[in-house]
Amino acid sequence: MLIAVWLSILVLWLLCAVVLIGMGSLFLRPLSPAYRLQDAFWAGLAAAVAILEVYHFLRPIDSLIAVLFLGFGLVGFLSSRTVLLRQWSTARTSAPWSLPVVLLVAFLVAVRAAGPCEHYDTGLYGSSLVRWTASYPLVPGLANLHGRFGFNSSVFLCVASLDQGILRGISYHLFGGLLLLAFAATVVPACERLVRGSSASLEDSFLFFLLIPTVFWIMRTEIVGTMTDLPATASLLVACANLLRGLERREQKGKKERTWLS
């Protein structure tokens, strides 16, 4: 029975990853054809949050937006399959041992995600906000009545978008673990590239040091509930890594231009 639960969580994570990668591909493909799988995932997450923020002004976070995300994600994934397969092949070549490590991490996180919700703030206000978000559109000025009505985080919108249909009540076991697994899938290949000596980039060096919080989060942090700290921290650290990558590329481009002019 427990194995079936773990496998169900893994399958749902895979579906969510496909949807977010597909949505991210729709936004990244016009900008750059050389985007990576992890770039597509995090871009898809950012796009989903932006859409949910606007959508919530008009409607509650209901099954309609979940169906739209599923449709857009699958269309984006299928239309970008050539680029994604090429990026997958490149990732497997540059870090061949990362896949089994990430699969092991996925199993460990799925085991923990199948456990009970012990996150205090989920019972205090998180689950109530998810139910409110899924029942009513945004009410401007509601926090003027009481400060607690002003608690807001994109995490609640994301959990509410998952808390639809047969997944109602299960979404608390999905979102935190999904982002933790995506973060690990970003950090582990960078560590392997550095150890193998196939990369000396500033981005991979930064991600290498993030192996410490990654291991701690996998083993100890709460991942069942409406945690806001873990998603915010993981997203910010990935954004910092991407910023370092962009700055390094800009510096390399500037050096090439100066060399060419000289």
What the block records as the tokens of 251 is 């510096």
Query: What is residue 258's predicted lDDT score, i.e. its pLDDT?
Result: 58
Whether 261 has a pLDDT exceeding 80, the answer reads: no
Query: Rg for the chain (alpha carbons), in Å?
Result: 19
Cβ pair 95, 185 in contact under 8 A = no
Cα gap 198→215, rounded to integer Å: 23
129 and 52 Cβ atoms separated by less than 8 Å: no
pLDDT interval class at 209 (50, 70, 90)? very high
The mean of the pLDDT values for the chain is: 88
| Mean pLDDT confidence for 44-61 | 94
Task: Return the pLDDT at 110.
Answer: 93
CA nearest to 160, candidates 170, 150, 149: 170
Distance CA 85, CA 87 (A): 5
What pLDDT is recorded for position 260? 60
Residue 48 has pLDDT above 90, yes or no: yes
88, 197 contact by CB (below 8 A): no
Span 231-254, average pLDDT: 87
User: Residue 210 above 60 pLDDT?
Assistant: yes
85-113 pLDDT tens trace: 888 888 788 888 888 999 999 999 999 99
